[in-house]
Amino acid sequence: MAKTTYSCSACGASFSKWSGRCDGCGEWNSITEDKGLSKGGPASKSLGMRRGKTIPLSDLATEEAPPPRSCCGVGELDRVLGGGLVPASAILVGGDPGIGKSTLLLQAAAQFARSGVKTIYVSGEEASAQVRMRAQRLGLAQAPVKLAAETNLRDILTTLEAEKPQLAIIDSIQTMWADHVDSAPGSVSQVRAAAHELTTFAKTNGVSIIMVGHVTKDGQIAGPRVVEHMVDTVLYFEGERGHQFRILRAVKNRFGPADEIGVFEMTGGGLSEVRNPSALFLSERGAPSPGSVVFSGIEGTRPVLVEMQALVAPSPHSQPRRAVVGWDSSRLAMILAVLEARCGIPFAGLDVYLNVAGGMKISEPAADLAVAAALLSAREDTALPADTVVFGEISLSGALRPAPQTENRLKEAQKLGFTAAIAPSGGKSVAVEGLALRQASDLAGFVGDYFGAG
C-alpha cells in the first residue's frame, strides 16, 4: 500500500503527515493530502501511467538510431531546441507578459503543422475565436492546427489521448486546473500537479508538449521551482519593450546545448527570425564616440557582436550612482575596484552608467575587458577605433585571462568588417586573415597602451 503524502498549497513543501501549520512558509491550514488524478486516492496512479519494466543497460542496441527530430522551418527556434523538436519531450517557455510568447508558439504551431506534425493548441486564457483572430492577423488562418479552449486538466488529457497529436501546446500552465487538488488555479499545488501530469503524459504517449509559464517580477517562472526540474527543456523569451528585438534563450536543454539563443524581431505581422543578429545589433552604431566598444561574445554555439555603451559623469551626490542595463551590476563594481586598485584610476565622485545596446543581456566573463575599455573611453573622452572588437576576462589581480572559442569570435568580427581585435595574451594562437590581433597580458598594460594612463 502506497504511503499517504501531504503538501502545502501555498509553497509546495511536502510532508509525511498532516499538521495545522506549514514549517516551510508558516501558513495555517494550507497542508492537504496528495491525491492521484485518475481515481482520487493517495495510492492511485496518475492518468496514463504504466507499470515500468527494467532493462539492462548492456542489452540496449548500440546501433539503434535516436528518435528523429521534427523541424518547423523557423531556424532560430530549431537552433534553440537543439536541432528540432524531440518526440515525447516536455518544454517550458517563460517570459514577461506581452513579450510575444503566444505569438511565437502560434507561429511555431502553424509551421509544425504545415510540415506534417499533427498539432493541437490549447488555450486557457483565450477563446478559440480569439486565437483564430490572432492567427488571421499573423496570416496563419489556413494552417492545419486544431484549437481548443479549456482549463480542466482531466478534459485536456482525455482529448489528447483521443486525438493522439504529435505536438500539444498548453497556454498557459498557470491557468490549468486539476480537480484532485484543493486549491485555486495558479497556486503552487495546481501548477506542480498540472506540470507533473502533462510531463508524464508526454513520456508515456510519445507526445511533445510545450507549456507556457508566466514569470514573477524577479523574472523567474511563477510556481514551484520543481516544475523546471520536471521538464526536459526550459526556454526564456526575453526582450526590452523599447526594442523590437526578442531573444529566445535555452537555460536548460537535455537534448542540446544550454545558453543557446535565437533572435527574433517583432513586426506588424508577428515575429520574424533574425539570421545574422550581430549585424542587426550593430546596425544603429554610428561614428566612433567615447564610451562605445564592440564586444565579441559567444551565446551558446553562436558568436554575437554587441555594442557596450558607457557614460561617466561627475556626480552631484555624495554617493555616486551605478546603473547597469544588460549586465551584472556586481561585476561592474568589481571592474571599477580593479581599475582603481591595480591601475590607479579612481571613479570616486563619478556617476557610472553601462548599457548593452539592442536589449541584449550578457552574462559571460569575457565581457570584462570590453566593459573596462568602455569605462576608460568614457572617462578619458577618448574613442577606440571603430573597426576594433574587444574581449577578455579580468581577474582580481589585474591579469587578463583568455576567453574560450577565440577563433569563432575573431571570424565573426572579420565577417562583419572589423580589422582589429584586442584580446588577452597567453591563449591559443589564432590567425584570421584580414584581422590584426593585438594582445595584452594585464589590465595595466592595456590601459597604458590605449589610454596613456595607469
Q: What angle do CA 8, 11, 16 make, to 5 degrees?
A: 35
> Considering only CA atoms, which of 454, 419, 452, 448 is closest in space to residue 433?
419
What is the identity of the amino acid at 372? A
Domain boundaries defined on the chain:
1-33, 75-275, 286-451
- Give me the pLDDT at residue 35, please: 64
The annotation status of 100 as a binding-site residue, yes or no, is yes
C-alpha cell at 220: 523567474
The helix (H) or strand (E) run that includes residue 161 is helix 153-163
Nearest one of 108, 102, 64, 114 to 85, comparing CA atoms = 108
What's 286-451's CATH class?
Answer: alpha beta
Quote the cell numbers at residue 284. Answer: 544603429
Confirm whether residue 98 is marked as ligand binding. Answer: yes
Name the DSSP letter for residue 78.
H
Domain covering 75-275 in this structure, CATH number:
3.40.50.300
351 marked as part of a ligand binding site: no
pLDDT in tens, the chain (454 residues): 556 778 787 777 788 888 888 888 888 888 887 765 443 444 444 444 444 566 575 655 544 555 688 888 888 999 999 989 999 999 999 988 888 899 999 999 999 999 999 999 999 989 989 999 999 999 998 899 999 999 999 999 999 999 999 999 999 899 999 988 888 888 888 898 999 999 999 999 999 999 999 887 766 776 677 889 899 999 999 887 667 888 899 999 999 888 888 989 888 888 998 888 887 778 667 677 899 999 999 988 889 999 999 999 999 988 999 999 999 999 999 999 999 999 999 999 999 999 998 778 898 999 999 999 999 999 999 999 889 999 999 999 999 999 998 999 999 999 888 999 999 987 777 788 889 999 998 999 999 988 875 4
CB-based contact 111:74 (threshold 8 Å): yes
Phi/psi for 344 (5° steps) reads: 70, 30
Three cell numbers, residue 257 = 546545448
H-helix segments, 50-141: 75-80, 101-114, 128-137
Q: Which residues contact 154 (CB under 8 A, 6 or more apart)?
A: 37, 47, 178, 179
On whether 95 is known to bind a ligand per the annotation, the reply is: yes
pLDDT in tens, 308-317: 999 999 999 8
The separation between the first and the last C-alpha atoms of the chain, rounded to the nearest angstrom, is 74
User: Could you give the CA distance from residue 93 to residue 77 in angstroms, rounded to a whole number?
Assistant: 12
Q: Is 96 annotated as contributing to ligand binding?
A: yes
Identify the three-state secondary structure at position 231: coil
